[in-house]
Amino acid sequence: MHQDPFSVLAEPARRNILDQLRMGETSVSELVERLDLSQPSVSKHLKVLREAGFVSSKVAAQRRIYRLELERVRAIDEWLAPYRAMWTRSLDALERHLDKMEE
Amino acid sequence: MHQDPFSVLAEPARRNILDQLRMGETSVSELVERLDLSQPSVSKHLKVLREAGFVSSKVAAQRRIYRLELERVRAIDEWLAPYRAMWTRSLDALERHLDKMEE
DNA sequence: TAATTATATGCCTGTCGGGGAATATTACTG
DNA sequence: CAGTAATATTCCCCGACAGGCATATAATTA
């Protein structure tokens, strides 16, 4: 089964779905409309996202409302952290350099 | 060919390679040793990483020295940014809440 | 209960990408 | 130039998906 968050996000459609959910909870059919994908396709992607913990769902009549779960996105962010540290260090160095120039 | 940074990073071996390169420039054979992968495998992954812009290489005698290129990692970070904004907002709210408690 | 809406699932098919082994290529050395 | 070290590339096989379509399931309403 898909566990790895990175491979889950490798699919553009899934990132698009998450981007939509960032704006708020959404039903499947809303996603189908907004993303111009087939309903089965959306459902399948949602299943992957759900099993990977990126989204959760609740039932509302016949609809299922999907909601973004930030936790898993943080997993990606954690992998990125040391890299981000690298470029912020470079930025800091640049700033210090510019400060010196002003003297 | 592989363009999308996310699918490039979907492969764990490639993330491992980047993690190694974070520590400094490295030759192919060093990576083979450290990651316990076959040489062809490493070379193939490096090719993908190179074509996607995650790494660059220079020639040093028979060796090729690979080097991390941060730019592309930033692409991932940029996608992540709005999400990160969300959880830092939550953190801010929590802080404000705790501050109130202290009063 | 029959009909309808909303969503999930199963099946099939085609494609893509990774691993392994062998081989090609490039650069260095004697 | 012959030999060797380091890396790249090719070929083949196979498993993992994604898309499309049909169908199942669940909840709702008439």
The DSSP call for residue A9 is H
Strands (E), B1-103: 26-27, 55-60, 63-68
Average pLDDT over every residue of B27-41: 97
Residue of B71, B52, B68, B64 lying closest to B17 (CA atoms): B68
Give the β-pairing of B63-68 and B55-60: antiparallel
Average pLDDT over every residue of B76-98: 87
Residue B66 pairs in a beta bridge with B26, B57
pLDDT (tens digit per residue) in A24-65? 999 999 999 999 999 999 999 999 999 999 999 999 999 999
- Closest residue (Cα, C1') to D21: A40
For residue A29, the model assigns a pLDDT of 97
Cα maximum dimension of chain B: 68
CB B67 within 8 A of CB B74: no
For residue A33, the model assigns a pLDDT of 96
- Comparing A60 with B3, the larger pLDDT belongs to A60
Residues of B in contact with A73 (CB under 8 A): 80, 83
Average pLDDT over every residue of B3-18: 96
Residues with CB under 7 A from strand C: A 27-29, 32, 39-40, 42-44, 46-47, 57, 62-64; B 2, 7, 10-11, 13-14, 37-38, 40-41, 44-45, 48, 59, 61-62
Tell me the CA–C1' distance in angstroms for A79 and C22: 37
- Assign A103 a pLDDT band (cuts: 50, 70, 90): low
Distance CA A6, CA A70 (A): 14
Closest-CA residue of chain A to B2: A10
CATH of the domain at A13: 1.10.10.10
For residue B91, the model assigns a pLDDT of 73
Tell me the CA–C1' distance in angstroms for A29 and C3: 21
Residue A57 pairs in a beta bridge with A66
- Assign B2 a pLDDT band (cuts: 50, 70, 90): low
Closest-CA residue of chain B to A4: B10
Lowest-confidence segment of A27-36, B13-22, B29-38, B81-90 by average pLDDT: B81-90
pLDDT (tens digit per residue) in B48-59? 999 999 999 999
- Assign A1 a pLDDT band (cuts: 50, 70, 90): low
How many structural domains is chain B composed of? Answer: 1
Question: For residue B95, is pLDDT > 60?
Answer: yes
pLDDT above 90 covers a percentage of chain B that reads 80
Burial class (CB in 10 A: 0-12, 13-18, 19+), B87: middle
Question: For residue B85, is pLDDT > 90?
Answer: yes
Query: B41 lies in which domain range?
Result: 5-102
Residue type, A21: L
Tell me the CA–C1' distance in angstroms for A77 and C7: 32
Average pLDDT over every residue of B18-44: 97
